[in-house]
Protein backbone atom coordinates (compact mmCIF):
# COMPACT_ATOMS: atom_id res chain seq x y z
CA UNK A 1 0.00 0.00 0.00
CA UNK A 2 3.00 2.25 -0.25
CA UNK A 3 2.33 4.84 -2.95
CA UNK A 4 5.97 4.76 -3.95
CA UNK A 5 5.94 1.09 -4.97
CA UNK A 6 2.50 0.66 -6.57
CA UNK A 7 0.74 2.27 -9.50
CA UNK A 8 -2.49 2.45 -7.50
CA UNK A 9 -3.52 2.63 -3.87
CA UNK A 10 -6.34 0.17 -4.45
CA UNK A 11 -7.58 -2.22 -7.14
CA UNK A 12 -11.27 -3.08 -6.99
CA UNK A 13 -13.05 -5.97 -8.72
CA UNK A 14 -16.63 -4.68 -8.99
CA UNK A 15 -19.23 -7.16 -10.25
CA UNK A 16 -22.55 -6.15 -11.75
CA UNK A 17 -25.66 -8.17 -12.61
CA UNK A 18 -28.57 -6.39 -14.34
CA UNK A 19 -31.35 -8.03 -12.28
CA UNK A 20 -32.56 -7.25 -8.74
CA UNK A 21 -32.01 -10.24 -6.48
CA UNK A 22 -33.40 -8.90 -3.21
CA UNK A 23 -35.56 -5.95 -2.13
CA UNK A 24 -33.54 -2.72 -2.06
CA UNK A 25 -34.83 0.26 -0.10
CA UNK A 26 -34.49 2.45 -3.21
CA UNK A 27 -35.22 1.79 -6.90
CA UNK A 28 -37.00 -1.42 -5.97
CA UNK A 29 -37.76 -2.37 -9.58
CA UNK A 30 -35.00 -0.59 -11.51
CA UNK A 31 -31.55 -2.18 -11.27
CA UNK A 32 -29.98 0.33 -13.64
CA UNK A 33 -30.92 3.28 -11.42
CA UNK A 34 -29.94 1.34 -8.31
CA UNK A 35 -26.55 0.70 -9.89
CA UNK A 36 -26.22 4.39 -10.77
CA UNK A 37 -26.96 5.51 -7.21
CA UNK A 38 -24.57 2.98 -5.73
CA UNK A 39 -21.85 3.98 -8.20
CA UNK A 40 -22.18 7.64 -7.27
CA UNK A 41 -21.62 6.79 -3.63
CA UNK A 42 -18.78 4.46 -4.60
CA UNK A 43 -17.10 7.30 -6.48
CA UNK A 44 -17.33 9.55 -3.44
CA UNK A 45 -15.92 6.73 -1.29
CA UNK A 46 -12.79 6.57 -3.49
CA UNK A 47 -11.94 10.23 -2.92
CA UNK A 48 -8.24 10.95 -2.38
CA UNK A 49 -6.99 7.63 -3.76
CA UNK A 50 -5.48 6.34 -6.99
CA UNK A 51 -7.82 3.51 -7.94
CA UNK A 52 -8.22 0.96 -10.71
CA UNK A 53 -11.59 -0.74 -11.07
CA UNK A 54 -12.01 -4.07 -12.85
CA UNK A 55 -15.66 -4.03 -13.90
CA UNK A 56 -17.26 -7.45 -14.30
CA UNK A 57 -20.41 -6.94 -16.38
CA UNK A 58 -22.34 -10.19 -16.17
CA UNK A 59 -24.93 -10.17 -18.94
CA UNK A 60 -25.32 -6.40 -18.73
CA UNK A 61 -26.68 -4.25 -21.59
CA UNK A 62 -24.23 -1.82 -23.19
CA UNK A 63 -25.54 1.15 -21.18
CA UNK A 64 -23.94 -0.27 -18.03
CA UNK A 65 -20.48 0.21 -19.52
CA UNK A 66 -21.35 3.82 -20.34
CA UNK A 67 -22.69 4.25 -16.81
CA UNK A 68 -19.34 3.38 -15.25
CA UNK A 69 -17.51 5.79 -17.53
CA UNK A 70 -20.00 8.51 -16.61
CA UNK A 71 -20.09 7.96 -12.85
CA UNK A 72 -16.40 7.22 -12.26
CA UNK A 73 -14.58 10.06 -14.05
CA UNK A 74 -10.83 9.97 -13.56
CA UNK A 75 -10.86 6.37 -12.35
CA UNK A 76 -8.92 3.80 -14.38
CA UNK A 77 -11.47 1.26 -15.66
CA UNK A 78 -11.00 -2.17 -17.19
CA UNK A 79 -14.11 -3.96 -18.44
CA UNK A 80 -14.69 -7.71 -18.46
CA UNK A 81 -17.83 -8.70 -20.38
CA UNK A 82 -19.45 -11.96 -19.22
CA UNK A 83 -22.35 -13.95 -20.60
CA UNK A 84 -24.59 -14.27 -17.51
CA UNK A 85 -22.25 -16.72 -15.77
CA UNK A 86 -23.81 -16.07 -12.36
CA UNK A 87 -22.91 -15.20 -8.79
CA UNK A 88 -20.42 -17.93 -7.95
CA UNK A 89 -18.51 -17.68 -11.23
CA UNK A 90 -18.16 -13.90 -10.97
CA UNK A 91 -16.96 -14.20 -7.38
CA UNK A 92 -14.32 -16.74 -8.42
CA UNK A 93 -13.24 -14.40 -11.22
CA UNK A 94 -12.92 -11.51 -8.76
CA UNK A 95 -10.53 -13.59 -6.69
CA UNK A 96 -8.51 -14.65 -9.71
CA UNK A 97 -8.18 -11.14 -11.15
CA UNK A 98 -7.18 -9.55 -7.85
CA UNK A 99 -4.60 -12.21 -7.07
CA UNK A 100 -3.00 -11.91 -10.52
CA UNK A 101 -2.86 -8.11 -10.69
CA UNK A 102 0.25 -6.33 -9.44
CA UNK A 103 -0.92 -2.73 -9.67
CA UNK A 104 -1.73 -2.38 -5.95
CA UNK A 105 -1.11 -4.15 -2.69
CA UNK A 106 -4.61 -3.39 -1.40
CA UNK A 107 -7.58 -5.00 -3.11
CA UNK A 108 -11.34 -4.87 -2.77
CA UNK A 109 -14.11 -7.23 -3.83
CA UNK A 110 -17.29 -5.20 -4.42
CA UNK A 111 -20.91 -6.03 -5.17
CA UNK A 112 -23.21 -3.76 -7.12
CA UNK A 113 -25.87 -3.02 -4.48
CA UNK A 114 -23.86 -1.23 -1.79
CA UNK A 115 -24.03 2.42 -0.78
CA UNK A 116 -20.86 4.02 0.61
CA UNK A 117 -20.03 7.02 2.76
CA UNK A 118 -17.73 9.69 1.29
CA UNK A 119 -14.01 8.94 1.76
CA UNK A 120 -14.70 5.44 3.06
CA UNK A 121 -11.81 3.66 1.34
CA UNK A 122 -9.13 6.14 2.38
CA UNK A 123 -10.21 5.63 5.99
CA UNK A 124 -10.13 1.86 5.58
CA UNK A 125 -6.67 1.81 3.98
CA UNK A 126 -5.33 4.11 6.66
CA UNK A 127 -6.59 1.73 9.34
CA UNK A 128 -5.09 -1.26 7.53
CA UNK A 129 -1.70 0.45 7.55
CA UNK A 130 -1.95 1.31 11.25
CA UNK A 131 -1.91 -2.29 12.54
CA UNK A 132 -0.24 -5.55 11.63
CA UNK A 133 -3.27 -7.68 12.55
CA UNK A 134 -5.77 -6.35 10.03
CA UNK A 135 -6.44 -9.23 7.67
CA UNK A 136 -9.76 -8.01 6.28
CA UNK A 137 -11.95 -4.94 6.60
CA UNK A 138 -15.62 -4.88 5.74
CA UNK A 139 -17.05 -1.37 5.22
CA UNK A 140 -20.45 -2.72 6.34
CA UNK A 141 -21.55 -2.70 10.00
CA UNK A 142 -24.12 -5.44 9.47
CA UNK A 143 -27.39 -5.27 11.40
CA UNK A 144 -26.92 -8.97 12.26
CA UNK A 145 -24.15 -8.00 14.67
CA UNK A 146 -26.83 -6.49 16.92
CA UNK A 147 -29.63 -9.02 16.46
CA UNK A 148 -28.05 -12.48 16.33
CA UNK A 149 -26.73 -14.58 19.21
CA UNK A 150 -24.00 -15.77 16.82
CA UNK A 151 -22.30 -12.38 17.25
CA UNK A 152 -22.77 -12.03 21.01
CA UNK A 153 -19.07 -12.48 21.70
CA UNK A 154 -16.23 -10.28 22.99
CA UNK A 155 -14.59 -8.07 20.37
CA UNK A 156 -11.45 -5.98 20.05
CA UNK A 157 -11.94 -2.26 19.48
CA UNK A 158 -9.54 0.32 18.09
CA UNK A 159 -10.13 4.01 17.45
CA UNK A 160 -8.25 5.24 14.41
CA UNK A 161 -8.52 8.81 13.18
CA UNK A 162 -11.80 9.22 15.03
CA UNK A 163 -13.39 6.02 13.68
CA UNK A 164 -14.17 2.99 15.83
CA UNK A 165 -13.13 -0.31 14.27
CA UNK A 166 -13.99 -3.60 15.94
CA UNK A 167 -13.46 -7.24 15.16
CA UNK A 168 -16.34 -9.34 13.82
CA UNK A 169 -16.94 -13.00 13.08
CA UNK A 170 -18.58 -12.76 9.67
CA UNK A 171 -19.54 -10.37 6.91
CA UNK A 172 -20.72 -10.56 3.29
CA UNK A 173 -18.63 -10.71 0.10
CA UNK A 174 -17.75 -7.01 -0.16
CA UNK A 175 -14.48 -6.45 1.70
CA UNK A 176 -10.96 -5.01 1.54
CA UNK A 177 -7.74 -6.92 2.12
CA UNK A 178 -4.22 -7.16 0.73
CA UNK A 179 -3.32 -9.12 -2.38
CA UNK A 180 -0.95 -11.21 -0.26
CA UNK A 181 -3.62 -12.20 2.25
CA UNK A 182 -6.14 -12.90 -0.49
CA UNK A 183 -3.67 -15.34 -2.04
CA UNK A 184 -3.15 -16.99 1.35
CA UNK A 185 -6.89 -17.49 1.97
CA UNK A 186 -8.24 -17.98 -1.56
CA UNK A 187 -8.73 -21.71 -1.00
CA UNK A 188 -11.27 -20.96 1.72
CA UNK A 189 -13.08 -18.29 -0.29
CA UNK A 190 -13.37 -20.62 -3.27
CA UNK A 191 -15.42 -22.98 -1.12
CA UNK A 192 -18.25 -20.47 -1.60
CA UNK A 193 -18.36 -21.52 -5.25
CA UNK A 194 -18.85 -25.12 -4.10
CA UNK A 195 -21.81 -24.46 -1.84
CA UNK A 196 -20.37 -23.07 1.40
CA UNK A 197 -22.22 -20.00 2.67
CA UNK A 198 -20.39 -16.71 3.05
CA UNK A 199 -21.05 -16.64 6.80
CA UNK A 200 -19.61 -20.14 7.28
CA UNK A 201 -16.44 -19.40 5.35
CA UNK A 202 -15.88 -16.28 7.43
CA UNK A 203 -16.38 -18.30 10.63
CA UNK A 204 -13.74 -20.71 9.34
CA UNK A 205 -11.32 -17.83 8.82
CA UNK A 206 -12.03 -15.84 12.00
CA UNK A 207 -12.81 -18.90 14.18
CA UNK A 208 -15.32 -16.70 15.99
CA UNK A 209 -16.94 -18.79 18.70
CA UNK A 210 -16.37 -22.10 16.92
CA UNK A 211 -14.58 -23.63 19.94
CA UNK A 212 -16.68 -22.07 22.74
CA UNK A 213 -18.89 -24.83 24.19
CA UNK A 214 -21.30 -22.53 26.06
CA UNK A 215 -21.69 -20.27 23.05
CA UNK A 216 -22.37 -23.25 20.81
CA UNK A 217 -24.87 -24.67 23.29
CA UNK A 218 -26.73 -21.35 23.22
CA UNK A 219 -26.83 -21.45 19.42
CA UNK A 220 -28.03 -25.05 19.47
CA UNK A 221 -30.92 -24.12 21.77
CA UNK A 222 -31.88 -20.67 20.52
CA UNK A 223 -30.39 -20.08 17.05
CA UNK A 224 -30.31 -23.33 15.11
CA UNK A 225 -29.58 -21.61 11.79
CA UNK A 226 -26.41 -20.05 13.25
CA UNK A 227 -25.37 -23.37 14.81
CA UNK A 228 -25.59 -24.94 11.34
CA UNK A 229 -23.27 -22.22 10.02
CA UNK A 230 -20.66 -23.24 12.58
CA UNK A 231 -21.20 -26.87 11.64
CA UNK A 232 -20.66 -26.01 8.01
CA UNK A 233 -17.35 -24.35 8.85
CA UNK A 234 -16.26 -27.56 10.61
CA UNK A 235 -17.42 -29.90 7.83
CA UNK A 236 -16.60 -27.96 4.67
CA UNK A 237 -13.42 -26.20 5.77
CA UNK A 238 -11.93 -28.45 8.46
CA UNK A 239 -8.28 -27.74 7.71
CA UNK A 240 -8.65 -23.97 8.09
CA UNK A 241 -11.12 -24.16 10.97
CA UNK A 242 -9.09 -26.53 13.10
CA UNK A 243 -5.51 -25.99 11.97
CA UNK A 244 -5.35 -22.78 9.95
CA UNK A 245 -4.27 -19.36 11.10
CA UNK A 246 -6.96 -17.30 12.82
CA UNK A 247 -7.71 -14.22 10.75
CA UNK A 248 -9.02 -10.88 12.00
CA UNK A 249 -11.95 -9.21 10.27
CA UNK A 250 -12.61 -5.59 11.25
CA UNK A 251 -15.68 -3.40 10.69
CA UNK A 252 -16.24 0.34 11.30
CA UNK A 253 -18.90 1.72 13.60
CA UNK A 254 -20.81 3.68 12.46
CA UNK A 255 -20.81 1.90 9.15
CA UNK A 256 -18.94 3.21 6.11
CA UNK A 257 -21.26 1.33 3.74
CA UNK A 258 -24.46 -0.66 3.66
CA UNK A 259 -26.03 -3.37 1.62
CA UNK A 260 -29.06 -1.73 0.01
CA UNK A 261 -31.42 -4.57 0.98
CA UNK A 262 -34.34 -3.12 2.96
CA UNK A 263 -33.94 -5.52 5.89
CA UNK A 264 -30.14 -5.26 6.03
CA UNK A 265 -29.41 -1.55 6.34
CA UNK A 266 -26.54 -0.70 8.65
CA UNK A 267 -27.67 1.22 11.77
CA UNK A 268 -26.90 4.81 12.80
CA UNK A 269 -26.63 6.28 9.29
CA UNK A 270 -29.44 7.96 7.32
CA UNK A 271 -28.98 6.01 4.09
CA UNK A 272 -32.01 7.60 2.48
CA UNK A 273 -30.30 10.99 2.66
CA UNK A 274 -27.03 9.52 1.42
CA UNK A 275 -28.84 7.96 -1.54
CA UNK A 276 -29.96 11.34 -2.82
CA UNK A 277 -27.72 13.69 -4.83
CA UNK A 278 -27.61 16.09 -1.89
CA UNK A 279 -26.52 13.34 0.48
CA UNK A 280 -23.53 12.51 -1.69
Q: Report all structural domains of the chain as residue ranges with CATH numbers, in order of start.
A: 10-274 (3.90.550)
Average pLDDT, the chain: 95
Q: What local confidence, expressed as pLDDT, does residue 280 receive?
A: 56
Q: What is the 3-state secondary structure (H, E, C) of 139-205?
A: CECCCHHHHCHHHCCCCCEEEECCEEEEEECCCCCCEEEEHHHHHHHHHHHHHHHHCCCHHHHHHHH
pLDDT for residue 88 is more than 60: yes
Determine the Cα–Cα distance for residues 8 and 5; give it in Å rounded to an integer. 9
pLDDT for residue 92 is more than 50: yes
pLDDT tens-digit series, residues 36-71: 999 999 999 999 999 999 999 999 999 999 999 999
Q: What local confidence, expressed as pLDDT, does residue 278 receive?
A: 47
Determine the Cα–Cα distance for residues 233 and 241; give it in Å rounded to an integer. 7
More confident residue, 2 or 240: 240
pLDDT tens-digit series, residues 11-41: 999 999 999 988 999 999 999 999 999 999 9
pLDDT for residue 1 is more than 50: no
Q: What local confidence, expressed as pLDDT, does residue 58 receive?
A: 98
Q: What local confidence, expressed as pLDDT, does residue 6 receive?
A: 81
Q: Strand, coil or helix: what is 263?
A: helix
More confident residue, 269 or 1: 269
Amino acid sequence: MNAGTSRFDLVVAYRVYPEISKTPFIHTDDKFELTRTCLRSFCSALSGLRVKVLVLLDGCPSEYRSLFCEELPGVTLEFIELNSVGNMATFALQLDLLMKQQDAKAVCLAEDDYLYCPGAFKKILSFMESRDDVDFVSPYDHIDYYTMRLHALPTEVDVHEGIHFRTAGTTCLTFVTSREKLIQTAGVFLKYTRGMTDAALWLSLTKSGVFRPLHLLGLLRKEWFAFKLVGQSWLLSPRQTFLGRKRKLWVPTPSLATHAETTGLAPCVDWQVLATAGGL
